[in-house]
Amino acid sequence: MSEKRISRKELARRNRKQNTKRKNLRGLMIVVITAVMLYFTGVYGASLAYFGDFISSGMAVLQIGGGFPVEGDFSNVLQADGMGTSMAVLDRDNLSVYSPTAKNIFTYSHSLHKPAMDTASQRAVLYDQEGTDLKVVNGHNILFQQEMENPIIHAEISDSNRIAVTTRSASYNGEVTVFNYNMKQRFVWYCATGFPIYTTISDSGKTMAVNTVRTDEGILTSEIYIIDVTSGGELYSIIGQNYPLHMEFLSDSRLLIAYTNRVVLWDVENNVQLAAYSMGSDNLSAVCCKGAYIAVAHGGFSRQQSSTLTLLSNEFEEKFTVTIPEKIKDVSISSSRVYALGEENLYEYDYSATLLNTVNTGALSKQLVGYNGTLLISSTSVSKVEKTKSR
């Protein structure tokens, strides 16, 4: 009798445990299904934003299209860039998102007068330059909408989904407002000296750099302010004589600054220049950072003048320098190749400076996009640049 009673108790305990597991599993499935339905119907709050990013990224991969090239009217394209598993293409009327197999998975008619965007690993920030309208999107939805108090100059989003919005100011020369992933304002940095042009923020969202300009005795001078995003405090500033056309954090401690005539690697933690590459009398035309490499294209102003393409390591060790017989308007690094888009041709090099292929793209070519390799956007199509085998 005693052993039977114990067995029954043990059986009852096991049954209760199994029932509890089933209930928990059913509850979890209900929560997930409800969250997915709320996400795709657009009825969800900030608490589901990261979940929505996860669902959107996964769904982008599952959206099967016919593959590249995509034929169409791309003559009004302003910007295009990878957004994790998808690609965002912005033109004067729409923001369109494509899957890896070139299916159009989302199109949003933005109605912005002067549209611009910046992309991160899962989201993009879409804004109206000189307007006040700003939106945060992922591959399938508008996540947040924000109306700024002052006209927007520039906005950037990090891979950690922190957003830095550079605007004009009623009381200062300009200001930068930093938002969290759920568009809650963290702090505002006010610019009292110079005029802020754009801001870049590290992937972790811990550090940002604000590019400002002013004139001293008729000479344009730049000053870059380094800001600790965690505390909102200004750390120091970097003064340069030339205007930086591009800034990019290679890590939290290293900032790439591309001026009109030189590229600089700056130690953010110790406020010291680590390395520099000079272009002499040339002017920067394009720069691309990918993995352990930095591609820099520079030359003259004329379309007929030759250009120079240099590949650097991220420690600024020069890997190669080649001359290209036309002006370069874009560069890309992917799959152990460096691509340089000229006015009429696309040049493909390997890391040993061997010219593997030259393809005539014509005058309708617009830009290169680093997405699942390298894509070429022209006025009539988006096509995949096929990698040439080494000789």
Phi, psi angle pair for 89, to nearest 5°: -125, 120
Enter the pTM of the model. 0.86
Q: How confident is the model at residue 389, as a pLDDT? A: 86
HEC string of the chain equals: CHHHHHHHHHHHHHHHHHHHHHHHHHHHHHHHHHHHHHHHHCCCCHHHHHHHHHHHHHHHHHCCCCCCCEECCCCCEEEEEEECCEEEEEECCEEEEECCCCCEEEEEECCCCCEEEEECCCCEEEEEECCCEEEEECCCCEEEEEECCCCEEEEEECCCCCEEEEECCCCCCEEEEEECCCCCEEEEEEECCCEEEEEEECCCCCEEEEEEEEEECCEEEEEEEEEECCCCEEEEEEEECCCEEEEEEEECCEEEEEECCEEEEEECCCCEEEEEEECCCCEEEEEEEECCEEEEEEECCCCCCCEEEEEEECCCCEEEEEEECCCEEEEEEECCEEEEEECCEEEEEECCCCEEEEEECCCCEEEEEECCCEEEEECCEEEECCCCCCC
**What is the tens place of the pLDDT at every residue in 110-138?**
999 999 999 999 999 999 998 999 999 99
pLDDT band per the 50, 70, 90 thresholds, residue 28 = very low
pLDDT tens track for 345-366: 999 999 999 999 999 999 899 9
Q: What is the mean pLDDT of residues 89-112?
A: 96
pLDDT at 19 over 70: no
Cβ neighbours of residue 268 closer than 8 Å, sequence gap 6 or more: 207, 209, 226, 249, 252, 253, 254, 255
Cβ–Cβ < 8 Å for 299, 308:
yes
Neighbours of 241 (CB within 10 A): 12
Residue 5 makes CB contacts below 8 A (sequence gap 6+) with none
Lowest mean pLDDT among 7-21, 182-196, 261-275: 7-21
> Does the structure show a pLDDT above 80 at 277?
yes
Specify the pLDDT at position 53.
80
What is d(CA 119, CA 131) in angstroms, rounded to the nearest whole number? 19
Give 313's contacts (C-beta < 8 A, 6+ positions apart).
292, 293, 294, 319
227, 234 in Cβ contact below 8 A?
Answer: yes
| Per-residue pLDDT, 240 | 80
pLDDT, one tens digit per residue, over 219-259 is 888 999 999 999 999 999 999 878 899 999 999 999 999 99
Q: With cut-offs at 50, 70 and 90, classify the pLDDT of residue 157.
A: very high
pLDDT tens-place string over residues 168-185: 999 999 999 999 999 999
Which residues face 165 on adjacent strands? 155, 177
Per-residue pLDDT at 1: 43
- Report pLDDT for 2: 47
pLDDT tops 70 at residue 36: no
Mean pLDDT of the chain, nearest integer: 89
Q: What does the pLDDT average to over 31-60?
A: 60
Tell me the pLDDT tens digit for each residue of 288-330. Answer: 999 999 999 999 766 668 999 999 999 999 999 999 999 999 9
